[in-house]
Structure 1
Amino acid sequence: MQDVYLYFENGLFLQGKSFGAAGTSVGEVVFNTSMSGYEEIITDPSYAGQFIIFSMPEIGIVGTNPLDMESRAGFCKGIIVRHYNEFHSNFRSINSLDTFLKSQNILGIAGIDTRSLIKTIRNNGAMMMIASTEISNQQELKNKLEKSKNIQEINLMPEVSTKTPYKHKHGVFDFNTFEYATPKTHKKIIAIDFGAKRNILNELCAVGLEAEVMPHNFQALEIIQRFKNGEIQGVFLSNGPGDPLMLKDEVEQIKLLIEAKIPIFGICLGHQLLAIAHGYETYKLKFGHHGGNHPVKNLITQSVEITAQNHNYSVPEEISQIAEVTHRNLFDNTIEGVKYKHSPIFSVQHHPEASPGPKESNHLFKQFANMI
């Protein structure tokens, strides 16, 4: 392990030990409270442009394998851990985390007091940072960070979204047979890829929906025509990274889908984009919600569901003027789900597909299938 140097927007300067890729990276730093599933987290496209601090102090022991990847690559800038385990021991492990990060060109940073750093983020909010195995001078790191774009100024869609449409037909992975289920599909939908996790597509297929995945720069008129012809029965808007207010072209296309009364289900970024398309702009949370253990109250059933989360933005309370609030976050009471009053549209902020995390909210996929 070679030395790695970290400089944060608030002036904090730290030194750690690197694993994974070497080099210099700039990004926003957030923390994740999940106790397991680090490979799924690293390959969640919603972390594009970000450094992830893991609150779990021991990382690396279960290694990595292709089946646990949630997208075609890892899009985060780097990960920060208390202690990295090079020795990996799991019957599914193919490579060490170090080898995996090198293959993805992602920085790994160990030997950091992550408990203290997470408290700093909790108190000061998410901030930009720079990490380097090449630059050790604090002032040089500061200058480079100040010249870099803030994550809110970067459109990450071209990086994470698919370039060409494709069809997704297999369901959830069966760990007994080590094969993907192939459920019978009875409806077809368009899934807009803003950085979709693979398990979202698996869950859609598991409830009988064949998904044709389209890029972020989709054309709504084409989808509307196919809906009118009966070729497709609904649209899904996926999760993804960055500030939703950056995606003005995508919002304009979503407005056309709304006007056409097409059934729509949105998750995370899709949830936020639907709010913006209805005229209610999102706002940034202090440090966001990232982890697999966040309680959300389902206001329809009055039950509490433990959920997986990964977002820095939230929809405003004013949206209740046109939508029924269906879910609330029990940590800060922010809106976690809405059902629009005059349209066949609903959305949630959390991740019902989990991976990693609990599956207590995956009934929402069945709800979408029933609606269409």
Structure 2
Amino acid sequence: MKISILLANGDFFEAKGFGAEGTAVGEIVFNTSMTGYQEIITDPSYAGQFVVFTMPEIGNVGVNEDDMESKGAWLKGVIVREYIDTYSNFRGEKSLGEFLKQEGILGISEIDTRYLTKTIRTQGAMMMIASSEIHDKEELKKILDSTPSIQEIDYIKEVTTDKEYIHPNGAWNDIEFKYNPKNTDKRIVVYDFGVKRNILNELTEAGMECVVVPANTPVEDVIKRYQNGEIQGVFLSNGPGDPLILKDVHEKIKKLLDAKVPMFGICLGHQLLSIAHGYPTFKLKFGHHGGNHPVKNFIGKYPEVEITAQNHNYNVPEEIEEIAEVTHKNLFDNTIEGVKYKNEKVFSVQHHPEASPGPRDAKYIFKQFYEMI
């Protein structure tokens, strides 16, 4: 099917569609990972965004239930150079096109993804509209101009769990191709802002039972559990959108800090901890999205370089060094990737130590949280 695309800078394209039909508006970003498209597509942190894959061929291994990072797909659309509908993988259960159609997500192919990537890199992430129904540029522009930007929308309400549950699985067992649950002797509450399943797997594998709660769970209930000894800490998950608009979450974290609850945050959780400490985040020009980002780790006696998976558009400010020790920095642009707050049992990282997809250099961070609590 024919798809018409209009970027906020005025660029207009025609391409081929696969997956669902319809019209969608969102922010366009690019991801440089060479594998793991299903994990990326089902990562709730991409809610409200179109993802351009720089890998030219996407779809060749299909989709399967075990590689889901959440219960569905939350992004607005998938943009690829060439879509492969006939998948070849012994674990494949359906094609990517079938999955996107099932999830109501637009698939866009036969478009110059190199041009799109260079446009985003030069001009920054921006809003766009794509449609299989509307092909008039002016009509598309009217819809695009009247739609709120991603910074104005709280996607957490869409991606969070609707009820509390205990996560049942440990980390992936690569040899037997099945989950391998592990005994746990610590218990934590996981505030679900769009948590990835593999983060929960790694927390469990490190020895922590994960009680996953909705984002709107009263913080007083969590503090009471900590004070009663029912839990030993709180994990703040990854998630979509601008952390500055989540005012109610800021207040919850401040109360957790006042109660001296040990905490660990990844990605959005890292940003929210910074804001709760009084250091507002800022938006990067085009963000970090991929599986090959070098990060310098300053924790040990000698700094080490780790290759990490990343997915974020926002960052904590340099001024945070006034109250926290910087533990990690990105070697692409020298932005802060991790902090340990002074005189508190609280730390966080911007990158994704669980990978999925990506390298596993940073897996040790989950064990650090276990040891801290």
What TM-score comes out, normalization by structure 2 length?
A: 0.99
User: Whole-Å Cα distance in 2 between the matches of residues 91 and 170 of structure 1?
Assistant: 23
Amino acid corresponding to residue 314 of structure 2 in structure 1: Y
Q: What residue number does 2:98 align with? A: 99
Amino acid corresponding to residue 343 of structure 1 in structure 2: E
User: Whole-Å Cα distance in 1 between the matches of residues 321 and 98 of structure 2?
Assistant: 48
User: Whole-Å Cα distance in 2 between the matches of residues 65 and 300 of structure 1?
Assistant: 38
Q: What residue number does 2:333 align with? A: 332
**How many Å apart are 1:176 and its aligned residue?**
2.7
User: Whole-Å Cα distance in 1 between the matches of residues 321 and 203 of structure 2?
Assistant: 27
**4+ aligned runs moved over 3 Å, structure 1:** none
- Please say if 1:272 is aligned against 2:267: no
Q: What residue number does 1:352 align with? A: 353
**How many Å apart are 1:178 and its aligned residue?**
2.9
Amino acid corresponding to residue 106 of structure 1 in structure 2: I
User: Whole-Å Cα distance in 2 between the matches of residues 236 and 283 of structure 1?
Assistant: 22
Amino acid corresponding to residue 271 of structure 2 in structure 1: Q
What secondary structure is seen at the aligned counterpart in 1 of 2:251?
helix
**How many Å apart are 1:237 and its aligned residue?**
0.3
Q: What residue number does 2:32 align with? A: 33
- Please say if 1:310 is aligned against 2:311: yes
**How many Å apart are 1:87 and its aligned residue?**
1.0
User: Whole-Å Cα distance in 2 between the matches of residues 153 and 296 of structure 1?
Assistant: 30
What secondary structure is seen at the aligned counterpart in 1 of 2:175?
coil
- Please say if 1:62 is aligned against 2:61: yes
User: Whole-Å Cα distance in 2 between the matches of residues 38 and 293 of structure 1?
Assistant: 15
1:176-325 equivalences under 5 Å are 176-301=175-300, 302-325=303-326
User: Whole-Å Cα distance in 1 between the matches of residues 4 and 25 of structure 2?
Assistant: 12
Over residues 253-296 of structure 1, what are the superposed CA-to-partner deviations in whole Å (9 max), with x where a residue is unaligned?
Answer: 11000111111000000000000000000000000000111111
Task: Please provide the CA RMSD for this pair.
Answer: 0.7
1:218–1:253 CA contact under 8 A, matched in 2: no
Amino acid corresponding to residue 303 of structure 1 in structure 2: E
User: Whole-Å Cα distance in 2 between the matches of residues 259 and 15 of structure 1?
Assistant: 54
**How many Å apart are 1:172 and its aligned residue?**
1.1
How many residues align? The count is: 371
User: Whole-Å Cα distance in 2 between the matches of residues 358 and 92 of structure 1?
Assistant: 21
Amino acid corresponding to residue 34 of structure 1 in structure 2: S
**How many Å apart are 1:182 and its aligned residue?**
1.4
What secondary structure is seen at the aligned counterpart in 2 of 1:73?
coil
**How many Å apart are 1:173 and its aligned residue?**
2.1
Over residues 280-325 of structure 1, what are the superposed CA-to-partner deviations in whole Å (9 max), with x where a residue is unaligned?
Answer: 0000000000011111110123111100000000000010000000
What secondary structure is seen at the aligned counterpart in 1 of 2:295?
strand
Amino acid corresponding to residue 334 of structure 1 in structure 2: T
User: Whole-Å Cα distance in 2 between the matches of residues 287 and 177 of structure 1?
Assistant: 39
User: Whole-Å Cα distance in 2 between the matches of residues 348 and 220 of structure 1?
Assistant: 22
Over residues 98-129 of structure 1, what are the superposed CA-to-partner deviations in whole Å (9 max), with x where a residue is unaligned?
Answer: 10110111100001100111000000000000
Amino acid corresponding to residue 141 of structure 1 in structure 2: L
User: Whole-Å Cα distance in 2 between the matches of residues 115 and 266 of structure 1?
Assistant: 34
1:1-150 equivalences under 5 Å are 2-150=1-149
**How many Å apart are 1:175 and its aligned residue?**
3.5
Percent identical among aligned pairs is 63
Over residues 170-198 of structure 1, what are the superposed CA-to-partner deviations in whole Å (9 max), with x where a residue is unaligned?
Answer: 20122432321110100000000000000
**How many Å apart are 1:61 and its aligned residue?**
0.5
Over residues 72-116 of structure 1, what are the superposed CA-to-partner deviations in whole Å (9 max), with x where a residue is unaligned?
Answer: 010000010000011100111010111011011110000110011
Unaligned stretches of 5+ in structure 2?
A: none
Over residues 25-50 of structure 1, what are the superposed CA-to-partner deviations in whole Å (9 max), with x where a residue is unaligned?
Answer: 00000000000000000000000000
